Each structure stands twice: as C-alpha cells, then as structure tokens.
Amino acid sequence: MVLKQYELFFLDRFGFHNTSSIDSLLDKEDVSLEAILDEDELLQECKSQNTRLIDYFQRVDVLKRLLGYVTGEIEGEEESRRFK
C-alpha cells in the first residue's frame, strides 16, 4: 500500500509516525559513521530513502570515511564487526 503525501502528513502531524533508531542517532550532533553502520535498520532506512540519512551520507567527512573503508585505508576494529 502506497501512502499519498497528505496521508503521510496526517500520520506525521498527529504523532503516528514512528521515529527510527537511525533518526534518533542523527539527532545527536556527534554521531559517528560507525554507529550508523552498526544499526540493524540501516538497509531499510536506505530503501525508504530517509532524507536525513541521505543528507548525512552526503557530508564530505562521512564520504571520505566511507571511501577509506572501501579502499582499505581504514581498518575495522575486528573482522566480525565489519560485516553484519
């Protein structure tokens, strides 16, 4: 079922919108990339195009850190934590 924009507005306006743990993390000023990547809801939030999450991933410092992980310049704490 696809909700129309006015339905989403109604749900959000009257408090029927559940805040995700990702949104709670993004409310913190000093949230780390690793804390975001460790969240179980990350993939679902990406699929739902969470605009706050997308804005966070577009920050230059975050993109540099992500690129560091991809290229191997930044090593994870332990092998098991790198892949969930």
- For 7-61, the pLDDT digits (tens) are 555 555 555 556 789 999 999 989 999 999 999 999 999 999 999 999 999 999 9
pLDDT at site 80: 46
pLDDT at site 75: 81
Give the separation between CA 21 and CA 66, rounded to whole angstroms. 20
Non-local CB neighbours of 35 within 8 Å, separated by 6+ positions? 25
Which of 29, 22, 30 lies closest to 53, judged by CA? 22
Q: Give the predicted TM-score (pTM) of the model.
A: 0.68
Instruction: Report whether pLDDT(72) > 70.
Output: yes
Q: In this structure, is the dihedral angle defined by the CA atoms of residues 58, 62, 64 and 67, taken in order, positive or negative?
A: negative
pLDDT at site 14: 59
**Residue 34 CA: distances (Å) to CA of 5, 38, 53:** 32, 6, 13
Domains of the chain by residue range: 19-82
